[in-house]
Structure 1
Amino acid sequence: MILIALGANLPGPDGRSALETCRAAAALLDSLPGLRLRALSRWYATAPVPPTPGTPDYVNGVARLAPPPGVAAPDAATLLAALQRIEDRFGRVRPYPNAPRTLDLDLIDLDSMLREAPDPILPHPRAHLRAFVLAPLADVAPGWVHPRLGETVATLLARADRAGVRVLG
């Protein structure tokens, strides 16, 4: 199972809202070579972490991807590069850590792989702490178990601070 977190809080360079950008990016995930979109979570509005006055809320979701039968999943570095190309297509810039963004695609899990380095670190090193990742992840993979911690998404979500995380209409 391949889990990708999607997020945005700035309009795209084409004027799309953060939600429209996330929806378009999810559609592009389905066109990645050797992968198919199997499930897409509900969309969530979340307050910025860390809280930053004047920064718009994020739109967050999670996509579950899988290769078709008989096809191997891409390696982690190749998949990360493909995700970064999609981010670039939607105007992603990285001026400083946790900066507002037009699109953020994070590889959360790749078939329960444990990987310390090089990038990407797997599973994502902070996903288990973030309700804005765990809530949509529970939508698409309710039986997911964190490969390093051995804890279910439900257990992790119960411990996470859900303040500022709400389902969008």
Structure 2
Amino acid sequence: MATVVVAVGSNIGDRRQHLADAKRYLSALSDAPLRASSIYITEPIGPSSRDFFNAVVALSTAEKPEPLIKKFKSFEAEHGRSPDHTRWSPRTIDLDIISYDDLVIQTDTLIIPHPEYHRRLFVLEPLQELFPEWQDPRTGQPVERLLMQASPMRIKKTDLRW
């Protein structure tokens, strides 16, 4: 079984419900109880004007990375996300594989660890909440150091349930 860390985000419609739907979906894929961070409200990056709800979950699966990301993209499409969305566009749901055990993968369709996660407080803060001792599989840097190096942004941990 692999431990897969997934970033989940939404800033269109009922953001909390979109995250709850994603959590249910990811729980069904997981072979062990899903671990989930708190929900964070974060400022958008790019042209969007509405804040994001973001969280991180960890699932356990025997599914290989490529088929898993295809399932995630299908789930996103079923929830109204266009496969040809522009970068930083508003979205009903976004599922990104941050890490898959300690694998480092770079293909035309998949990069693990996620190529931008180390710059994103909206991934790093919930990641640290779940895994305070987590280290980047590519660089070995601990999440605490990555947090200190990330660009500042408005981010707030909530008490919302999902």
Give the partner amino acid of 1:74: E
Following TM superposition, by how much is the alpha carbon of 1:96 offset from its aligned partner in structure 2, in angstroms? 1.4
Are residues 1:160 and 2:150 paired?
Answer: yes
Following TM superposition, by how much is the alpha carbon of 1:90 offset from its aligned partner in structure 2, in angstroms? 1.2
Deviations 1:57-100 (A, max 9, x none): 00000001113xxxxx2111111011112112211124311110
Q: Which residue of 1 aligns with 2:76?
A: 87
TM-score under structure 1 length normalisation: 0.86
Are residues 1:56 and 2:45 paired?
Answer: no
Q: Which residue of 2 aligns with 1:14?
A: none
CA contact (8 A) 2:26 2:34 kept: no
Structure 2 residue corresponding to 1:21, chosen from 18, 24, 34:
18
Deviations 1:28-69 (A, max 9, x none): 10111x63343100000010113x3x61000000001113xx
Residue ranges of structure 1 left out of the alignment (5+ in a row): 12-16, 68-72
Deviations 1:3-34 (A, max 9, x none): 000000001xxxxx1111111111110111x6
Aligned mates of 1:65, 1:139 — CA distance in 2 = 15
Are residues 1:7 and 2:9 paired?
Answer: yes
Structure 1 SS opposite 2:34: strand
- The residue correspondences of 1:93-132 to structure 2 (distance < 5 A) are 93=82, 94-132=84-122
Structure 2 SS opposite 1:25: helix
Aligned mates of 2:33, 2:90 — CA distance in 1 = 26
Aligned mates of 1:36, 1:153 — CA distance in 2 = 24
Give the partner amino acid of 1:31: A
Structure 1 SS opposite 2:106: coil
TM-score under structure 2 length normalisation: 0.90
- Count of aligned residue pairs for this structure pair: 156
Residue ranges of structure 2 left out of the alignment (5+ in a row): none
Aligned mates of 1:37, 1:126 — CA distance in 2 = 27
Runs (4+) of structure 1 exceeding 2 A deviation are: 34-38
